[in-house]
Chains A and B, each alone.
Chain A
């Protein structure tokens, strides 16, 4: 059974109605449950749960401290290329956007990586658009091979691949995959992705399973918040993570909740997610998935990130730059989106320590690779 079959067994309009129909008694039952069932999860995502945001936050905090301690894994994104043949309407890399396009050479990549390495990062996230001619799997593999001595863990956030592609990058030293479905609503997905290979909803949906089959150690999923209705998107994200936990049980899971940021192209969120809704979503996901890593990027403001910290977050980026070459050359003209928390990594580190959290820079070892 693959996840698409699971997802197809739900009608999203019905899911929305079932969530909307949950009452406070359902929320209370979900808060008391040792393990959340599907209906419990729906209850925590419901409008009725808005009144329970504080007990949800307390439970989320308690579970996270129990499973992870007060630690935050630090990671940094490195943009290898912003060339892209896709037409994602919300993305700064949209092929139609007139931004300076660039794909880093191996030397430029290493220069970027050294900046991050010098800052102390040992967990790296490599990012590209989808441009088979500029940055294909062989390019990615070469970059990974070059950077591997500098980092204990290398993850990728690139276009979806077949199992064989993932095998190739894993062999080169990749241990983590981040891939957001953007929206789990097929119709909306088609509308948001008018052209390019990314139009293939099913192939993207299958990517985490391909990666797990290839032996990927860590897989991160998520929906781009601001596209579909957040309760339904959060529900599908949770369903996706649960499916992977059951079927790809050797893989460690992370979940992200990227909220749409201003980007070149000027796309406005279709369904903006308020801070309150955002907190509810994070807490509901934590209660559903006590062992999943929850990732919070610099898309969110410094103040909000500080406040979200105790609610279940286990991984953070800091001092991030979303354009290729941005770290070494300090030029952000080709960025994917505008980050919000622009504090340096040392400032974020100091904030964590002041709140009793330990920043963790290394929680993996390249020795796990053959």
Chain B
């Protein structure tokens, strides 16, 4: 069976879901259910991990879903590390989706601070899943630092534009030694399928589900998109032919 392994943990689903922007907790849960996801990210700044009555946490079945706290809002490495440590101290598993986004407009990740924070958190025993721009060298530096995945963005978060960073993501996928999760910008199941067809190991979706008229149904649609893309990747897509016309034979000497 085709499974996804991150830091020695195995998952059947290759779709991760974010929990921001939903109109209600019921809509959020419907999206999670429909998507078949096993990993959900939660912004640490939005939840009260100490409080058993927290409105988001009470709706997430921790038996069913791995809660992946994210450091959304952190502007530098220090803030991200502090958030992650607080979450762990409050009893979360030592998994963290590392987001360092000092630019409040496009919420683009800061590569320098992200690498710094990753180095600290890995040494600290965290399973680190860093959100990055689609920069292949940064991806290598992070995996060298010991991150469990890399999570390059397809397009700026919340834009629903699809895999606009396609060429760079292709290089990351080609070279990575950890799972590649395309995160941010995927606005339609076809976008998710495209990322999976390219050989991404998983995708993370939030806005597209949260803003859908029917988040539960959109969750299902993304599930199918991810599965279709993955299956097509494994089945071996027919490739576009590049037919070069031979100018003069290069191997004629073998027949002389």
Contact of B175 among A1, A249, A311 (CB under 8 A): A249
Given A32-B240, A59-B244, the answer on whether A246 and B250 have CB atoms closer than 8 Å is: no
Interface 1/0s, chain B 219-242, versus A by CB < 8 A?
000000000000000001001111
Give, as a whole number of angstroms, the nearest-CB distance from A296 to chain B.
15
> Is the Cβ of B251 less than 8 Å from the Cβ of A54?
yes
Contact of A58 among B174, B175, B241, B244 (CB under 8 A): B244
A311–B253 alpha-carbon span in the complex (Å): 12
Give, as a whole number of angstroms, the nearest-CB distance from B146 to chain A.
12
Q: Does B140 contact A (CB under 8 A)?
A: yes
- By beta carbon, the residue of chain A nearest B139 is A249
The interface residues of chain A lying within 8 Å CB-to-CB of B176 are 246
> Is the Cβ of B250 less than 8 Å from the Cβ of A54?
yes
Q: Does B177 contact A (CB under 8 A)?
A: yes
Q: Does B1 contact A (CB under 8 A)?
A: no
Q: Does B249 contact A (CB under 8 A)?
A: yes
How many residues belonging to B are interface residues under a CB distance threshold of 8 Å? Answer: 17
> Is the Cβ of A247 less than 8 Å from the Cβ of B175?
no
Q: Does A33 contact B (CB under 8 A)?
A: yes
The interface residues of chain B lying within 8 Å CB-to-CB of A246 are 175-177
A-B contact count (CB 8 A): 42
A178–B163 alpha-carbon span in the complex (Å): 40
Interface range, A side: 20 to 34
Give, as a whole number of angstroms, the nearest-CB distance from A279 to chain B.
6
Q: Does A29 contact B (CB under 8 A)?
A: yes
> Is the Cβ of A57 less than 8 Å from the Cβ of B250?
yes
Contact of B251 among A53, A62, A245 (CB under 8 A): A53
A275–B254 alpha-carbon span in the complex (Å): 7
Contact of A310 among B177, B250, B254 (CB under 8 A): B250
> Is the Cβ of B239 less than 8 Å from the Cβ of A29?
yes
> Is the Cβ of A32 less than 8 Å from the Cβ of B239?
yes
Give, as a whole number of angstroms, the nearest-CB distance from B166 to chain A.
12
A55–B254 alpha-carbon span in the complex (Å): 14
Q: Which of A152-204 contact B (CB under 8 A)?
A: none
Contact of A307 among B175, B236, B253 (CB under 8 A): B253
The interface residues of chain B lying within 8 Å CB-to-CB of A123 are none
> Is the Cβ of B239 less than 8 Å from the Cβ of A33?
yes
> Is the Cβ of B177 less than 8 Å from the Cβ of A247?
yes
Interface 1/0s, chain B 167-209, versus A by CB < 8 A?
0000000111100000000000000000000000000000000
The interface residues of chain A lying within 8 Å CB-to-CB of B253 are 303-304, 307
Q: Does A61 contact B (CB under 8 A)?
A: yes
> Is the Cβ of B251 less than 8 Å from the Cβ of A29?
no
> Is the Cβ of B244 less than 8 Å from the Cβ of A62?
yes
> Is the Cβ of A29 less than 8 Å from the Cβ of B254?
no
The interface residues of chain A lying within 8 Å CB-to-CB of B140 are 249
Interface 1/0s, chain A 31-65, versus B by CB < 8 A?
01111000000000000000001110111011000
Q: Does A276 contact B (CB under 8 A)?
A: yes
Give, as a whole number of angstroms, the nearest-CB distance from B2 to chain A.
16
Q: Which of A53-91 contact B (CB under 8 A)?
A: 53-55, 57-59, 61-62
A33–B238 alpha-carbon span in the complex (Å): 9
Given A32-B242, A33-B239, the answer on whether A58 and B254 have CB atoms closer than 8 Å is: no
- By beta carbon, the residue of chain B nearest A32 is B239
> Is the Cβ of B175 less than 8 Å from the Cβ of A32?
no
- By beta carbon, the residue of chain B nearest A275 is B254
The interface residues of chain A lying within 8 Å CB-to-CB of B177 are 1, 246-247
Give, as a whole number of angstroms, the nearest-CB distance from A36 to chain B.
10
Give, as a whole number of angstroms, the nearest-CB distance from B172 to chain A.
12
The interface residues of chain B lying within 8 Å CB-to-CB of A54 are 246, 249-251
Give, as a whole number of angstroms, the nearest-CB distance from B64 to chain A.
31
- By beta carbon, the residue of chain B nearest A26 is B236
A-B pairs with the 5 shortest C-beta distances? A57-B250, A32-B239, A307-B253, A57-B251, A53-B251
A-B contact pairs, 13 of them (CB 8 A): A29-B239, A32-B241, A33-B239, A34-B239, A53-B251, A54-B249, A62-B244, A249-B175, A276-B254, A279-B251, A303-B253, A304-B253, A311-B250
